[in-house]
């Protein structure tokens, strides 16, 4: 009755519980029949009382198991029900499977009742019913497990396809940026040559503008060459996006590399990218706050790992001891807990070390990443 009520008030996919409960009920009935036949064979005269007591004990035991599952394993049951409810093809297969098995067992029970069998055959039937229920539940578990792996694999393939599309788009954007830099370089060179060949005197303001443009171009060219030595697409993507964000704030993110930066193991690579993103965001924020226009990011390939440094100028009010305080933030409560996140990442990845130093009003935070 409970299973029927649940299927009527929640979702039709819960109907498979009815068949599971009916199979368990078949086990209870068979146990009761075995007990009664055993007492009857022993010559007992209180079969009615024995039948009632046996039914009460079995039902109470089953109810206690159900209550324990509902109270102690509610989360797993909800996940089980949700997985079935969300997949129409899966729920139909499970309902059909459990229903067919349940009907088969009850037909077998009906046929056995037409034949006068002894206690030993009843025990054999009990074993068959119990084994059928166990196989049923185990089969459901395997079906759900296999389906969850299928869903996970599908999402991984979709994520990889999106990732490949993103990196392809990013690569195309970098090519377009390089083309713009090349055209800009030619335009700047033509302008400088034209001014040099002109008989008119060049004003200091014009010369200053040209000098700044040339310096920016040289910096962009340097950054472009640094990116080519980074073979990790996620890391290159992060640096490219942060470089573009810095340019939008009129700040130069100077990227320097030593050696070839190879891809890291997935879990460690994710932690490094997250930590580096936090450090770059903090450096950019502080650089903008004190109205400076440059900070440095350095990546050094080591024999057994990687060294990543972010160095930026800080204001005169900066106190390096604040970095060691728990949940320190300059953005208000509940915001800007980036260093706390980095500490958590270090606890989860023991081969990541951090070093902080402030020299001549320059904050340098270095991450050392060893091979796992």
**Higher confidence at residue 160 or residue 338?**
160
Q: Pairing mode, if any, of strands 294-302 and 305-313?
A: antiparallel
Rounded Cα gap, residues 151 and 155, in angstroms: 6
Instruction: Count how many Cα atoms sit within 13 Å of the Cα of residue 118 in the half-sphere of its side chain.
Output: 3
- Measured in whole angstroms, the distance separating CA 189 from the mean position of its chain's CA atoms is 49
* Sequence-separated contacts (24+) of 347-350 with Cβ below 8 Å: 348/271, 349/267, 349/268, 349/271
Phi, psi of 217 (to 5 degrees): -65, -45
Residue 243 pLDDT > 80: yes
Q: Which pair of structure tokens corresponds to residue 204?
A: 């200091």
Residue 289 pLDDT > 80: yes
**pLDDT of 332:** 46
**Higher confidence at residue 128 or residue 359?**
359
**pLDDT of 57:** 86
The answer to which of 247-256, 257-266, 272-281 has the lowest mean pLDDT is 257-266
Rounded Cα gap, residues 304 and 370, in angstroms: 6
- How many C-beta atoms surround the C-beta of residue 14 within 10 A? 20
Contacts of 133 (CB under 8 A, 6+ apart): 20, 23, 24, 27
The model's pLDDT over 313-336, given as tens digits with 9 standing for 90+, comes to 988 887 777 666 665 554 544 445
**pLDDT of 89:** 62
The model's pLDDT over 61-118, given as tens digits with 9 standing for 90+, comes to 878 887 887 888 778 777 777 766 666 666 677 777 777 777 777 777 777 666 666 6
- How many C-beta atoms surround the C-beta of residue 247 within 10 A? 13
Domains of the chain: 2-157 (no CATH), 228-370 (3.30.565.10)
Residue 304 pLDDT > 50: yes
With CA atoms as reference, report the closest residue to 18 among 99, 108, 101, 128: 99
**pLDDT of 263:** 81
Phi, psi of 247 (to 5 degrees): -60, -35
- Contact call for residues 36 and 51 (beta carbons, < 8 A): yes
């Amino acid at each position: 009755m409970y299973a029927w009520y649940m299927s009527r008030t929640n979702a039709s996919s819960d109907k498979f519980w009815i068949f599971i409960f009916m199979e368990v009920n078949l086990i209870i009935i068979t146990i009761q029949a075995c007990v009664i036949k055993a007492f009857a064979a022993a010559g007992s005269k209180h079969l009615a009382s024995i039948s009632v007591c046996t039914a009460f004990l079995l039902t109470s035991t089953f109810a206690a198991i159900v209550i324990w599952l509902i109270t102690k394993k509610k989360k797993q049951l909800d996940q089980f029900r949700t997985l079935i409810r969300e997949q129409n093809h899966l729920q139909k297969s499970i309902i059909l499977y459990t229903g067919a098995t349940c009907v088969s067992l009850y037909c077998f029970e009906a046929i056995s009742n037409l034949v006068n069998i002894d206690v030993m055959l009843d025990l054999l039937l009990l074993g068959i019913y119990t084994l059928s229920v166990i196989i049923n539940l185990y089969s459901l578990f395997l079906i759900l497990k296999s389906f969850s792996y299928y869903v996970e694999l599908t999402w991984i393939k979709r994520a990889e396809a999106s990732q490949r599309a993103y990196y392809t788009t990013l690569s195309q954007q970098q090519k377009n940026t390089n083309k713009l830099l090349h055209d800009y370089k030619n335009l700047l060179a033509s302008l400088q040559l034209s001014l040099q060949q002109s008989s008119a005197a060049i004003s200091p303001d014009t010369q200053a503008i040209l000098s700044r443009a040339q310096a920016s171009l040289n910096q962009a060219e340097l950054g472009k060459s640094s990116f080519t030595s980074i073979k990790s697409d996620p890391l290159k993507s992060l640096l490219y996006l942060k470089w573009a964000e810095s340019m939008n704030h009129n700040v130069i993110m100077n990227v320097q590399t030593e050696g070839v930066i190879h891809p890291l193991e997935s879990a460690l690579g994710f932690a490094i990218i997250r930590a580096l993103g936090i450090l770059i965001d903090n450096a950019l924020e502080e650089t903008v706050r004190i109205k400076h226009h440059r900070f440095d990011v350095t990546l050094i390939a080591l024999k057994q790992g990687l060294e990543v440094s972010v160095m930026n100028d800080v204001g005169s009010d900066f106190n390096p001891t604040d970095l060691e305080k728990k949940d320190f933030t300059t953005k208000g409560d509940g915001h800007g807990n980036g260093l706390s996140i980095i500490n958590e990442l270090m606890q989860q990845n023991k081969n990541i070390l951090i070093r902080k130093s402030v020299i001549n009003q320059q904050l340098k935070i270095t991450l050392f990443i060893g091979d796992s």
